[in-house]
Amino acid sequence: MIVALVRWVVRAVGALLLVVIACRFVNPPVTSLMVIRAVETRAPTWARQPVALHAVSPALLRAVIAAEDGRFLVHHGVDWGALERAREYNERWNGRRLRGAGTITMQCARTVFLWPGRSYVRKALEIGLAYVLELTWGKRRILEVYVNSVEWGDRVYGVEAAARRYFGVPAARLDAQQSALLAAVLPNPRRWSPVAPTPYIRARASIIATRAARVGLGRLVRAGGGSASSPFASAGRARGRGGGARGAPRTRSTWG
């Protein structure tokens, strides 16, 4: 019985690793979170339009890094110092307040391949997958998949769908204010709205905008084009240039 269970676990982990490696080259058509939400809401429809990283405003990338993982460019998938500080904080508040310490890499692993919720099993898988993503995907691909998969509202996934839903513009035209508001709602995107921000979200967005101004993207974004190996870039070229982005209406967001 135990031997059979071990064999099943090894095969399951092996299959998962194969899928993870394949997604370095092939865009995941759906994510585990999308499937879970579809089952929860009994509505198997969603807004999602993946785009290459160079088709996302650098302001949005800076805001997301500033809000979710300030050490994204220097850690190797897991920020152990942040995890320890979060553990101490949670123990001090005895569960009344909770602070997470998931890096963008860990969040990407959870969103695309795992499930939400708190358990030691999921956290162990999340940490393991984070190292695999760093090793096989690299920072650019991780950030690209993350911003195209993260939940940004009820059945809204990815930055392109969010930019068009909330501000009427493509992701490439998001400004610093809109980017900060989008990043501010990421901890609970189904509760908060970037176009109807609470005083807390406005304050959080202001802090994110200040921090984002100091974030350097390095070689993550190359001006005038994307990575030749990016599946999102290939998909964009296949669709052509008539995506309707240039004429999208622009709406004002509420800052304060």
Q: What is the average per-residue pLDDT within 229-249?
A: 48
User: Which of these, 142, 164, 137, lies nearest to 49 by C-alpha position?
Assistant: 164
User: Which of these, 139, 135, 136, 137, lies nearest to 103 by C-alpha position?
Assistant: 139
90 pLDDT exceeds 70? no
What does the pLDDT read at residue 113? 94
Q: How does residue 5 score in pLDDT terms, banded at 50, 70 and 90?
A: confident
Measured between alpha carbons, how far is 25 from 167 in angstroms, rounded to an integer? 31
Tell me the residue type at 35: V
Residue with tokens 């860990």: 106
Lowest mean pLDDT among 5-19, 175-189, 195-209: 5-19
What does the pLDDT read at residue 119? 80
Q: How does residue 223 score in pLDDT terms, banded at 50, 70 and 90?
A: very low
What does the pLDDT read at residue 253? 36
The string of DSSP letters for 36-71 reads: HHHHHHT----B-----GGGS-HHHHHHHHHHH-TT
252 pLDDT exceeds 60? no
Instruction: Give how far Cα 71 sits from Cα of 53, 68, 81, Å.
Output: 19, 9, 11
In the chain, the domains with their CATH numbers are 32-224 (1.10.3810.10)
228 pLDDT exceeds 50? no
Measured between alpha carbons, how far is 157 from 30 in angstroms, rounded to an integer? 10
Q: How does residue 149 score in pLDDT terms, banded at 50, 70 and 90?
A: very high
What does the pLDDT read at residue 73? 92
Q: Do residues 131 and 78 touch, judged by C-beta distance below 8 A? A: yes
Measured between alpha carbons, how far is 23 from 128 in angstroms, rounded to an integer? 16
Lowest mean pLDDT among 94-103, 165-174, 200-209, 217-226: 217-226
220 pLDDT exceeds 60? yes
40 pLDDT exceeds 50? yes
Interhelix angle 176-184/58-68, nearest 10 degrees: 30
